[in-house]
Amino acid sequence: MSTVMDSGEEIGAIRTIRRGVHFSPELKEGIRGTRALAVLASAGPVVVPIAVQQVLDRGVNGPGGPDV
């Protein structure tokens, strides 16, 4: 997929992003922040089941039973 500029030149998506970063360097900081948040959001679905399993194995089903 390409974008047509006013000059009639066709450019691709990556080149469009590079031009945007060239004219607005603040986009680099935004992209870094977005990437960091995406990594954290991706880790959530992995961490929650492991935490639940540990609570069940060590707390509820532990050697002395549940500690209420």
Look at residue 4 and give its three-state secondary structure.
Answer: strand
CA distance 30 to 47: 26
pLDDT of residue 65: 72
CA distance 27 to 49: 35
Q: How confident is the model at residue 38 (pLDDT cuts 50, 70, 90)?
A: very high
Does 18 score more than 90 pLDDT?
Answer: no
pTM over 0.75: no
CA distance 19 to 23: 6
Q: Which of 12, 10, 9 is nearest to 1 (CA)?
A: 12
Q: Which of 66, 46, 45 is nearest to 57 (CA)?
A: 66
